[in-house]
Amino acid sequence: MAAHALYRRAIPAAAAITRWQAPDGWSHRRFDWAAPANVRPRGSLLFQTGRGDMFEKYLEAFAHWHVRGWSITAFDWRGQGGSGRCTPAGDCGHIDRFETYLDDLAAFWTQWDAEGPRVLIGHSMGGHLALRAVVEERVDPVACVLVAPMLGLRAPIGPRFGERMARLRRALSLAIDREFIAERVWAGTMLPAYGVIPPHIGNYGERAELDFKAASPLEREDEAKRLMAAAGYGPGMPLRLALRYNRSDNNRRTIAAIAEQWAAIGVETSLIETDSAAHFAHLREGGDFDVARAGWIGDYSDPQNFLFLLQSDNKGLNYANYTNPAYDALMRDAERETDLKKRAELLAKAERILADEHPYVGILYFSNRNLISNKVEGYIQNLRGANASRFVSLKP
């Protein structure tokens, strides 16, 4: 970007500095720089600055985008830069509530007469506000870029964004044909999974399975497409995911089937294959991922031995860093409960939270198939498929 260094201290000659009035009459300083005539236009960028910023700080970045065919627009937030002050102190930028900034952004977006695709870019506080505006559906950019967004704030973004992500995870779960994978990919040696707890686990009642288990594959795919569209994905705007998995022939075939099924609802999936040691070390050590394969074989027949994996304080095995205070509270209550029936009820409520929020998408349960001669004595069917040879014998 050295070629654009001359813009660090000077407003470009072709740019316009004007005023924009919010619906309540507040005057904002505005910057507009139309795309150069000798470059194919690519669309319009609305840049949102950070706390205490003014748009001059970003002129060099604006020039970088401008020569590539983008029209650039920005405005100083009220109370800072050239948009006045909200207190008598002239050297103090202040705002009582971020909702005021969101109202300004939504109003500007509605009135913004921009050419071509509209992209929203936010830095720091501007990134926080841009993301909130998108999540709350107050703006509708074709793309949103967040640069070091200010996200460590207590704000309504938490539950709203969490709900939106839960809907996306549900769409991904709906699109997976578990019966096909169990029967065709694994040749009937696995069972389709619609929950976290496998069948026939002791000290438990009815399992909390996904509510679409009885729906047909076409019904599931239709709902998945609706959820994707509601989240802004569809033709021309795919959801791009990287799917990590540990190397094996069966895993490779399973992942390929999932990627193909996701493609039907508008997901572009890239695959990352590593050996098992590297894969699970990456997960245990908190490595970044979009979606990753995981599995678990219970140490004993009890629902807690599966549900504990998703407790927020389980740093080594909660690969997705899932955190839900209500879930954690139910698990703690279950630890203290000595009545097995009441304990099972608490654990079932915890499992229902997982079924609703989809932090993990169950696909298959491990199963055992054994061909046992009627001459064998002492063999007992059990969940682990384990029978000590000293207890097994053949009839004469």
Contact between residue 189 and residue 367 where contact means Cβ atoms under 8 Å apart:
yes
307-228-365 Cα angle (round to 5): 30
Using the predicted structure, report yes or no on whether residue 157 has a pLDDT greater than 50: no
Using the predicted structure, report yes or no on whether residue 99 has a pLDDT greater than 60: yes
CATH of range 162-363; options 3.10.105.10, 1.10.760.10, 3.20.20.140, 3.20.20.70:
3.10.105.10
Tell me the pLDDT band of 156, cut-offs 50, 70 and 90: very low
Distance CA 195, CA 185 (A): 20
Handedness of CA 359, 362, 366, 367 (dihedral sign): positive
Q: What burial letters (b/e) apply to 5-19, b meaning 16+ CB within 10 Å?
A: eebeeeebeebeeee
Note the pLDDT of residue 86.
85
Note the pLDDT of residue 1.
46
Using the predicted structure, report yes or no on whether residue 2 has a pLDDT greater than 60: no
Using the predicted structure, report yes or no on whether residue 270 has a pLDDT greater than 70: yes
Tell me the pLDDT band of 4, cut-offs 50, 70 and 90: low
Spatial CA neighbour of 279 closest among 239, 313, 306, 248: 248
Which part of the chain has CATH 3.40.50.1820? Answer: 2-155
* Least confident interval from 5-14, 254-263, 369-378: 5-14
Report residue 260: phi and psi, to 5°. Answer: -65, -40
Mean pLDDT of 102-125: 95
Q: Which two tokens stand for residue 25?
A: 């009459």
- Residue 138: CB atoms within 10 Å: 15
What's the predicted TM-score (pTM) here?
Answer: 0.60
Note the pLDDT of residue 148.
82
Distance CA 121, CA 145 (A): 5
Q: Which two tokens stand for residue 306?
A: 């599966």
Tell me the pLDDT band of 243, cut-offs 50, 70 and 90: very high
- Residue 368: CB atoms within 10 Å: 11
Which part of the chain has CATH 3.10.105.10? Answer: 162-363
- Calculate the average pLDDT of the chain: 90
Contact between residue 328 and residue 168 where contact means Cβ atoms under 8 Å apart:
no
Distance CA 295, CA 283 (A): 12
- Residue 154: CB atoms within 10 Å: 6
Note the pLDDT of residue 158.
52
Using the predicted structure, report yes or no on whether residue 130 has a pLDDT greater than 60: yes
Note the pLDDT of residue 7.
57
Using the predicted structure, report yes or no on whether residue 142 has a pLDDT greater than 60: yes
Mean pLDDT of 302-326: 93
Note the pLDDT of residue 368.
78
pLDDT per residue over 33-64, tens digit each?
999 999 999 999 999 999 888 999 999 999 99
Contact between residue 222 and residue 252 where contact means Cβ atoms under 8 Å apart:
no
Fold of 2-155: Rossmann fold (3.40.50)
Distance CA 245, CA 293 (A): 5
Portion of the chain with pLDDT greater than 70, in percent: 93
pLDDT per residue over 160-197, tens digit each?
666 778 889 999 999 999 999 999 999 999 999 999 99
Q: What burial letters (b/e) apply to 56-89, b meaning 16+ CB within 10 Å?
A: bebbbbbbebbeeebbbbbbbbbbbbbbeebeee
Note the pLDDT of residue 261.
97
* Least confident interval from 50-64, 87-101, 327-341: 87-101
Instruction: Collapse the DSSP code of 301 into the 3-class scheme (helix H, G, I; strand E, B; otherwise coil) and give the result.
Output: coil
Distance CA 50, CA 145 (A): 14
Note the pLDDT of residue 68.
94
Mean pLDDT of 298-327: 92
